[in-house]
Structure 1
Amino acid sequence: MLRALICLSALAAPISALAFTGAQLTKLCAQTDVASRNACKGYVQGAADGVYNTIDAIGGTTGPRVGQYFCLPPKTTPQSLVDAIRKYVAEDPRAGDYNASTVVSLGLGKAYPCKGRD
């Protein structure tokens, strides 16, 4: 029985992670407590890294490539990433319905477009 519960928990965790929406990310990032602010920054940085690494795996991130969503300047801070995401969601009310990682990709793409992209 315990083994079944552990397996069920392992299957449920990825499903709940996929359900994290732009609205939930925005709510988290609007909190003022240290834990929430750090969780917001951590999520945004992790999603940005995930997108970057995925693009790198399918074609590289040195310079603009097909499918590259954003190009971050070298000294970009975690807070500037969060600010870009919050601005994107404020300007596009539909973004609250998107998956949170999609919001990160699109928000950073709007704030930090790659130069020379077609």
Structure 2
Amino acid sequence: MQRVFVMASVLVFPLSAAAFTGNDLNMLCTKTDTASRSACAAYIEGAADGIYNTIEAIGGTSGPQVGQYFCLPVDVKPQELTDAVRKFIADNPARSNFNATTMVSLGLGKAFPCKADK
């Protein structure tokens, strides 16, 4: 009986797990308490760092590369990243159910596009 319960739990768990969407991220970022604001900024910075490192691993980030979504200025502030992502989510409500990390990529790509090497 215990084996049946474990198997049923394993099968049901993926159905109950929901992805963290752009809308969820935006709701977190609109809260005014310090913990929520910190969590919002940390998520965006962490996602940006993860995307950057992934691109670095597949071919570098010294300029526009295939698949490179954004090129951050050296002196960019965390609030600028948050503002860019929130603006993208607000301007693209049809995409708000995309994965939150995807929305970070798209938002930063819109605000900080890579310039083509000449």
Q: TM-score, normalised by structure 1?
A: 0.84
* 2:71 alignment partner, SS class: coil
Report the alpha carbon displacement of residue 96 of structure 1 after superposing the two structures with TM: 1.1
* 3-state secondary structure, aligned to 2:72: coil
| Residue type of the alignment partner of 1:78 | P
Gaps spanning 5+ residues in structure 2: where?
A: none
- Partner in structure 2 of residue 92 of structure 1: 92
Q: Which runs of 5+ in 1 are unaligned?
A: none
Alignment of 1:31-110 (within 5 A): 31-110=31-110
> Once the two structures are superposed, what CA deviation does each residue of 1:47-95 show, in whole Å capped at 9, x if it has no partner?
0001000000011111111110000001101110000001101111122
Query: Deviating runs (4+, > 6 A) in structure 1?
Result: none
2:21 corresponds to which residue? 21
Pairs aligned (count): 108
Of the two, which has the highest radius of gyration?
2
Larger relative helix fraction:
1
CA RMSD of the aligned region, Å?
Answer: 2.1
Secondary structure in structure 2 of the residue aligned to 1:97 = coil
Name the % identity. Answer: 58
* Counterpart-to-counterpart distance in 1, 2:38 and 2:30: 11
